[in-house]
Amino acid sequence: MIPLFRSGEVAKAHAEGGPIVALESTIITHGMPYPQNLEVAHQVEADVRGAGATPATIAVIGGCLHIGLEDDQLVRLAQATNVAKLSRADIAACIATNGTGATTVAATMIAAHLAGIEVFATGGIGGVHRGAEESFDISADLMELAQTPVTVVAAGAKAILDVAKTLEVLETQGVPVITVGQNSFPAFWSKTSSLKSPLRMDSAAQIASAHKTRAMMGLRGGQLIANPIDAADEIPAEQLAPIIQAAQAEADAQGVKGKEVTPFLLQRIFELTEGRSLTANIALVRNNARFAARISAILAIKDT
């Protein structure tokens, strides 16, 4: 048996068949600095509750897969340094060796599915990195979306990526990419990009219906829901472009590779924007948590 533990509130919601929204922990350990990471983790959980669902922040602690963290566990994780960043390749090894690690989008999807959770909110998924034709750096998040049936709400793909190539891989892998309420695919910190979204839907109900339809048709994999950041919170793409380029050039010059690339770029962009990227990141994660709660509430209404 997998050592899988639900927090008190998640166990209750699970027993009642109530709506649950999975949340990842890499964004806490590797995506934001302490203490903002803890504040945001608390806020996002409160946002999910406020929208009528139960939050389940997922992490591996001491070899146990936790679906929902008690507050002391969340605090310790937010303060910890040197926590492993777990994806599909390393989550089982971490559990088997009694390790502790934060789950990325890919690993959170795996854990959510094991725990019977169908909806997951995050900031932005990983994707195809710029220069991937040389580095082969393509996030396992994309292949996970192709095989694990969880609807993931994000603000598009992180703009540090090659977003056009990311959309191509998602199409090849058969992942529906659905933007909420607009035709332009959002670019994480920016509400729009120059790319058209493959699909568009205007309500949580349509998205819940598409999720159920895929299951009924026996189609493997999940859906990527691109929920644009509010205009009031965004950093326009043209302002960010030179900053992202500078951060990427530094990463290349310093030979940053593999799992370190995404955290390095996020940290440098935070510094180069004097914290504005973090403010936008917080706003978009909270926006995604609220929307994911609405989708999960609709899915929790069982057809009679």
Task: Point out the residues that are catalytic.
Answer: 24, 158
Please give the Cα distance from 58 to 102 (Å, whole number). 8
Burial category of 75 from C-beta neighbours within 10 Å (exposed 0-12, middle 13-18, buried 19 and up): middle
Q: Tokens at residue 227, please?
A: 């929920």
- d(Cα 142, Cα 151) in Å, to the nearest integer? 13
Q: Which stretch binds ligand PSU (CB under 6 A): 21-29, 37-45, 207-215, 294-302?
A: 21-29
Q: Find how far residue 154's CA is from the centre of its chain.
A: 6
Residue 166 vs residues 110, 142, 204, 238: alpha-carbon distances, Å = 21, 8, 24, 20
Q: Which does 281 bind (CB under 5 to 8 A by kind): ligand PSU, Mn ion, none?
A: ligand PSU
Indicate the residue among 122 and 297 with the shorter CB distance to ligand PSU: 122
Q: Say whether residue 137 binds Mn ion (CB under 5 A).
A: yes
What residue type is assigned to position 121 of the chain? A
Residue range at the interface with Mn ion (CB under 5 A); choices 8-16, 136-144, 179-187, 214-222: 136-144
Rule CB under 6 A: say whether 7 interacts with ligand PSU. no
Binding-site partner at residue 7 among ligand PSU, Mn ion, none, CB < 5 to 8 Å by type:
none
Residue 151, amino acid: T
- Tell me if 24 contacts ligand PSU by CB under 6 A: yes
Shortest distance in whole angstroms from residue 303 CB to ligand PSU: 32
Q: What type of residue is 74? A: L
SS3 label, residue 94: helix
Q: Which of these segments, 57-65, 110-118, 217-225, 258-266, binds ligand PSU (CB under 6 A)? A: 258-266
Residues near 221 by beta carbon (within 8 Å), at least 6 away in sequence = 145, 146, 147, 148, 149, 173, 174, 175, 214
Residue 29 found at the interface with ligand PSU (CB under 6 A): no
Size of the site for Mn ion (CB under 5 A): 2
In the complex, minimum distance from the CB of residue 160 to Mn ion, in angstroms, rounded to a whole number: 11
Q: To which residue do tokens 């999720």 refer?
A: 211
240 interacts with ligand PSU by CB under 6 A: no
Do 109 and 120 contact (CB within 8 A), yes or no? yes
Site for ligand PSU in 95-154 (CB under 6 A): 104-105, 122-124, 126, 139-141
Q: Which does 31 bind (CB under 5 to 8 A by kind): ligand PSU, Mn ion, none?
A: ligand PSU
Any contact of residue 30 with ligand PSU (CB under 6 A)?
A: yes
281 scored as a contact of ligand PSU (CB under 6 A): yes
Q: Which two tokens stand for residue 188?
A: 């994480």
Q: Which residues bind ligand PSU (CB under 6 A)?
A: 24, 26-27, 30-31, 104-105, 122-124, 126, 139-141, 259, 262, 266, 281
